Amino acid sequence: MNGELHELVAPYALDALDLAERESFERHLSACQRCQQELEELSLAAGALFDLTAEPAPARLKERVMADLSPDPGKVSPLRRTRASFINWAIAGVAAAVALIVGFAVLTPPTEAERAEAILASAQSVEVGLDGLDGRVVRSEDEAVFVGSGLTALAGDRTYQLWYIGEEGPVSAGIFRPDATGNATVLLHGTAAEGLVVGLTEEPAGGSDQPTGEVLATAEL
């Protein structure tokens, strides 16, 4: 019904229409100025949801992406066998039963929370105390977990950021905000190694490429 189409601006802005409704709304949209105006405003708001979730992506990702670019867009180029391709391949049932079974371990990476718990619980993990703050860093081989308490609450436009500091300087290991009690348990992104120093700074929301805030705490692995 035409009257109801006007009501679909918000769901459209949120991409919450199925294919059929989306197509009929788009047809309506091209002829309806009122909807176009409303969509402009609501799209900006929906766009904010995209901006607000931003966080630093691993540097290696860019290397992979740039290397995988085909010289001319629009031309099909064989994608490197990434893990995602492997998942699709396996789901297609082409993989032999054995490969499928072996693949399970690869296909279900644990969540960060599970990894952090596992590291904290492991008898093999090595613990070092934090300098400057209540807490510790617990390392298991090439992964580490930061556990801190008494962290000051932050304004909405600020974040805490962890760093691995080695010979080449600080590398971001992730950003986080403490919970309501000032505690945080954070799995560091990247590779832990003996000799690296873990650092904590306060940065603008979204994190920084290099530390801009003063170092609040350190721990030498």
List binders of another protein among 120-149 (CB under 8 A): none
CB of 167 to another protein, least distance (A): 25
Identity of the residue, 37 or 220, whose beta carbon is nearer to another protein in the bound complex: 37
Secondary structure of the chain as H, E, C letters: CHHHHHHHHHHHHCCCCCHHHHHHHHHHHCCCHHHHHHHHHHHHHHHHHHHHCCCCCCHHHHHHHHHHCCCCCCCCCCCCCCHHHHHHHHHCCCCCHHHHHHHHHHHCCCCHHHHHHHHHHCCCCEEEECECCEEEEEEECCEEEEEEECCCCCCCCEEEEEEEEECCEEEEEEEECCCCCCCEEEECCCCCCCCCEEEEEEEECCCCCCCCCCEEEEEEC
| Interaction of residue 112 with another protein, rule CB under 8 A | yes
- Single out the residue of 171, 175, 198, 216 in contact with another protein (rule: CB under 8 A): 175
One symbol per residue from 18 to 37: x for binding another protein (CB under 8 A), - otherwise; what is it? x--x----------------
163 near another protein, rule: CB under 8 A: no
Max Cα distance, the chain (Å):
68
Which of 87-95, 123-131, 132-140, 194-202 is the region at the interface with another protein (rule: CB under 8 A)?
87-95
What's the closest the beta carbon of residue 30 comes to another protein, in angstroms? 9
Describe the crossing of helices 33-52 and 19-29 by its angle, rounded to 10 degrees: 130
Q: Interface with another protein includes 45 (CB under 8 A)? A: yes
Our finding on whether 78 is near another protein (CB under 8 A) is no
Binding residues for another protein restricted to 58-77, rule: CB under 8 A? 58, 61-62, 64-66, 68-74, 76
Instruction: Tell me how far, at minimum, the Cβ of 1 lies from another protein, in Å.
Output: 12
| Binder among 34, 53, 105, 123 for another protein (CB under 8 A) | 53
Under rule CB under 8 A, residue 41 binds another protein: yes
Of 23 and 220, the one with the shorter C-beta distance to another protein is 23
